[in-house]
Amino acid sequence: MTRALALLLLAAALAAPQEHSYTQADIEHGARLYQSSCAGCHGPNGDMVPGIELHRGQFRRATNDTEIMRIIQSGIPGTTMPPSSFSDAQAGAIVAYLRTAAPASGPGREGVSVARGDAAKGKSLYDGKGQCGSCHRVNGEGPRLAPDLSDVGTVRPASELRQKLVDPDALVRPGNRFVDAVTKSGAKISGRLLNHDTFTVQLLDSNERLVSLSKSDLKEFTFVKSSPMPSYRDKLSAGELDDVVAYLVSLKGFRP
């Protein structure tokens, strides 16, 4: 199978769940409607109602675009989802926006991002020159401390992945933050923050242990401002970065 055919099949597979073709105008119109009518409950990134991640195509009750449109128009009786008076065109525009928006993308930003590189080459770079696997985990292989990338292609657009590779400090998401703690007895504990509240801290420490600490036992508790990830700006060529991004975009998780 040629690479071109493989990409064609991949594209076809991605397009399969979508029954409509979306114009940029539809997407932008849908983004406006979404932000004014839906974001109040679903949140600007479509992930504020548990079990539903609109921007990732994760719906509780809908399996295709027509069903999503019907729910937008009719609501779901007995739940918090109200009916609306959106026309078919308006509901369709919202679906277009939802189907093309990646998490954290805002209205007006480009929707589907296209990875230009070669995913197979990107995997070689991930495993070899880039040494990405020395920190990250994909499909059960690799350490656990850095973000698991098994489904990063479904949750991050190519543009953000590329930016992360060259400027890791630009955006550290709340779930990927590292903290340093020093206990009153002098023990140092570092790791990825899983949760903290007024009295306690939960983290995955550098030895991959789940640790819960009492803040009253700590002398210091600080957020690590920079990302532990190195920049690949000078380590990889532009073409190599494209390849790594293409590989990352191809990672769709265990249940794509």
- Contacts with other proteins by CB under 8 A lie at 32, 35-37, 39-41, 43-44, 48-50, 75, 77-80, 82-86, 106-107, 174-175, 177, 193-199, 202, 223
Helices (H), the chain: 3-15, 24-37, 39-42, 65-74, 88-100, 119-127, 152-155, 158-166, 238-249
The minimum distance between CB 172 and other proteins, in angstroms, equals 10
Q: Minimal CA–CA distance to 175: which of 202, 153, 150, 157?
A: 202
Q: How far is the CB of 80 from other proteins (least distance, A)?
A: 5
- Phi and psi at 189, nearest 5°, equal -130, 125
- Cβ proximity to other proteins, 50 vs 186, nearer residue: 50
Six token digits for residue 9: 């099949």
User: For residue 100, which of 88, 109, 91 has the smallest C-alpha distance?
Assistant: 109
Contacts (Cβ under 8 Å, ≥6 apart) of 105 = 55, 111, 157
Q: Decide the pairing of beta strands 210-214 and 200-205.
A: antiparallel
| Nearest to 210, CA basis, from 137, 140, 144 | 144
Complex with other proteins: residue 44 or 133, whichever CB lies closer: 44
Take residue 208 and report the two structure tokens written for it. 């991959």
Nearer to other proteins, 15 or 41 (CB): 41
Name the helix (H) or strand (E) containing 69.
helix 65-74
Handedness of CA 155, 160, 164, 166 (dihedral sign): positive
Q: At its nearest, how many Å lie between other proteins and the CB of residue 86? A: 7
In the bound state with other proteins, the residue whose beta carbon lies nearer, of 2 and 198, is 198
Residue 79: CB minimum distance to other proteins, A: 7
Contact 132, 147 (CB under 8 A): no
Q: How far is the CB of 39 from other proteins (least distance, A)?
A: 4
Per DSSP, the three-state class of 11 is helix
CB of 124 to other proteins, least distance (A): 33
Measured from the CB atom, the residue of 107 and 168 that comes closer to other proteins is: 107
What residue type is assigned to position 171 of the chain?
L
Least distance to other proteins, CB of residue 132, Å: 23
DSSP tag of 138:
B
For other proteins, the closer CB: 199 or 254: 199
The nearer residue to other proteins, 140 or 174, going by C-beta atoms, is: 174
